[in-house]
């Protein structure tokens, strides 16, 4: 097992960008937590969110009505950015245990939002840290 993954199949704290930037009360959500977010929210595509010029997905909790907005930040490869405003990719802390160059991620565009296990690690997706 790689040392960047702990026994629970999450990123180890020293490899979790949220922990390193925001402190140990924060972390990148697991694939399971990302799936719960998708399942327990109603999702809609929003253009020009709050007159910001930013497109993305707005999730409304089916439980308490709170909202989360995921900007369609696209992704980066090398120094280029792709699909900004059209789709979004957000890393989870869960690796794909079969293909070591892939990990679980949230991916979306105007038609769909889902959690996939085939995000290619060298793509620059966004992260959306959560608190413990």
Q: What pTM was computed for the model?
A: 0.86
18 lies in some domain:
no
Tens-place pLDDT, residues 5-61: 444 556 677 878 899 999 999 999 999 999 999 999 999 999 999 999 999 999 999
15 lies in some domain:
no
* Residue 116 confidence (pLDDT): 86
CA dist., res. 88 & res. 33, Å (int): 17
Query: What is the number of other CB atoms lying within 10 angstroms of the CB of residue 7?
Result: 7
78 lies in some domain:
yes
**CA distances (Å), 85 to each of 6, 46, 68, 110, in order?**
34, 10, 17, 10
Would the pLDDT of 120 be above 90?
A: no
11 lies in some domain:
no
The count of domains in the chain is: 1
Report percent pLDDT > 90 for the chain.
Answer: 67
- DSSP annotation of 126 reads B
52 lies in some domain:
yes
* Residue 119 confidence (pLDDT): 74
49 lies in some domain:
yes
Query: 29 near 52, Cβ under 8 Å?
Result: no
Confidence of residue 4 (pLDDT cuts 50, 70, 90): very low
Can you list the alpha helix ranges (DSSP code H) found in the chain? Answer: 17-22, 31-39
57 lies in some domain:
yes
* Residue 6 confidence (pLDDT): 43
Domain that holds residue 65: 30-131
């Amino acid at each position: 097992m790689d040392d960047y993954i702990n026994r629970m199949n999450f990123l180890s704290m020293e490899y979790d960008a949220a922990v390193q930037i925001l402190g140990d009360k924060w972390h990148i959500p697991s694939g399971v937590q990302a799936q719960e977010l998708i399942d327990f929210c109603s999702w809609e595509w929003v253009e020009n969110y709050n007159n910001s010029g930013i497109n993305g997905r707005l999730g409304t909790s089916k439980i308490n009505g709170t909202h989360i907005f995921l900007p369609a930040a696209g992704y980066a490869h090398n120094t280029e950015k792709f699909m900004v405003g059209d789709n979004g990719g957000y890393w989870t802390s869960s690796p794909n245990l079969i293909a070591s160059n892939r990990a679980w991620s949230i991916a979306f565009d105007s038609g769909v939002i889902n959690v996939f296990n085939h995000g290619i690690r060298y793509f620059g997706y966004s992260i959306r840290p959560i608190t413990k």
